[in-house]
Amino acid sequence: MRTVQLRRYSITRGELDAFAAWWAATMPALRERAGFTVDFAYAIAERSEFVWAVSVPGARDRFEQLEREWIASPERAAAFIGLVERVERQVIAFAEDVLPTSPPAPPRKVDR
């Protein structure tokens, strides 16, 4: 079992490239040192959005505990010192996988 949090940010117009560059150089390593896995990150230029997912093995209460520790950490605080605020809106929610854990078997060939 994994707990996944999906994070969607609306970024100030014209700032998406700068935000994505800062994020890629900073957040994955810091989050991983804090016990998280960064599952993916995508920039959507046409909408000036940045979407990413972060997860931990285990239940939601484990994620929430690590998140509290992360928010209070000096490493997180240091990452944001002097950073220009580029996130105008955030949508953050826990997500559940809807795909089966293994792909379905391919169709069998039937000889006639």
What span, in angstroms and rounded, lies between the C-alpha atoms of 78 and 96?
A: 31
CATH number of the domain at 2-95, out of 3.30.70.100, 3.90.1140.10, 3.30.43.10, 1.10.3720.10? Answer: 3.30.70.100
Q: What are 30's two structure tokens?
A: 């810091």
* pLDDT reading at 102 higher than 80: no
Give strand pairing partners of 54. Answer: 5, 38
pTM, full prediction: 0.85
Report pLDDT digits (tens) over 57-80: 999 999 999 999 999 999 999 999
Give strand pairing partners of 87. Answer: 11
